[in-house]
C-alpha cells in the first residue's frame, strides 16, 4: 500500500514537473527516455555478465546494472539534446502545459 502510494506520487510529481517545462522539452525528454531504455535493453546482458564476473552477487548486479545503465544513457542523451537542439518554440499556454504533462506521464 505504501509503495503504491509512493509510486503514484512519483508519477504525479514527474507529470507536474514536465508540465512546467513545456511540450517541446517534454517531447525531447520522452524521446531520450525511450532511446535510453532501448540502449539499456540492448546492452544489459553484456554489462551484467561483465559485472558478475567481478565476483559480485548476481541478485544485486541485475537491478543495479539495469538502473545504472538507464540513468547514464538518459543523462548523456539529454545533455546531447540540450546542447545540439536549440529551443525557443512558442505555443499557446494550454498546449504547452497540457502537452508537457502528457509527455511527463508517458515518461
pLDDT by residue (tens digit) across 79-98? Answer: 999 888 876 777 788 887 88
Q: Are 103 and 27 in contact (CB under 8 A)?
A: yes
How many angstroms separate the CA atoms of 66 and 105, rounded? 21
Q: Are 100 and 21 in contact (CB under 8 A)?
A: yes
Q: Are 69 and 44 in contact (CB under 8 A)?
A: yes
pLDDT by residue (tens digit) across 20-67? Answer: 888 888 888 889 999 999 999 999 888 888 888 877 777 788 888 889
How many angstroms separate the CA atoms of 99 and 103, rounded? 6
Q: According to the model, what pLDDT value does residue 37 have?
A: 94
Cut 0.95: pTM above it: no
How many angstroms separate the CA atoms of 25 and 15, rounded? 13
Q: For residue 5, is pLDDT > 90?
A: yes
Q: Are 103 and 18 in contact (CB under 8 A)?
A: yes
How many angstroms separate the CA atoms of 16 and 13, rounded? 5
- How far is it between the farthest Cα atoms of the chain? 55
Amino acid at each position: 500500500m505504501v509503495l503504491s502510494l509512493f509510486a503514484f506520487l512519483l508519477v504525479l510529481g514527474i507529470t507536474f514537473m514536465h508540465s512546467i517545462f513545456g511540450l517541446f522539452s517534454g517531447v525531447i525528454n520522452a524521446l531520450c527516455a525511450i532511446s535510453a531504455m532501448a540502449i539499456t535493453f540492448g546492452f544489459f546482458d553484456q554489462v551484467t555478465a561483465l559485472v558478475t564476473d567481478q565476483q559480485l552477487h548476481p541478485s544485486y548486479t541485475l537491478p543495479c546494472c539495469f538502473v545504472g545503465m538507464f540513468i547514464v544513457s538518459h543523462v548523456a542523451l539529454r545533455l546531447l539534446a540540450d546542447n545540439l537542439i536549440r529551443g525557443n518554440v512558442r505555443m499557446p499556454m494550454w498546449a504547452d502545459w497540457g502537452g508537457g504533462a502528457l509527455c511527463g506521464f508517458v515518461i
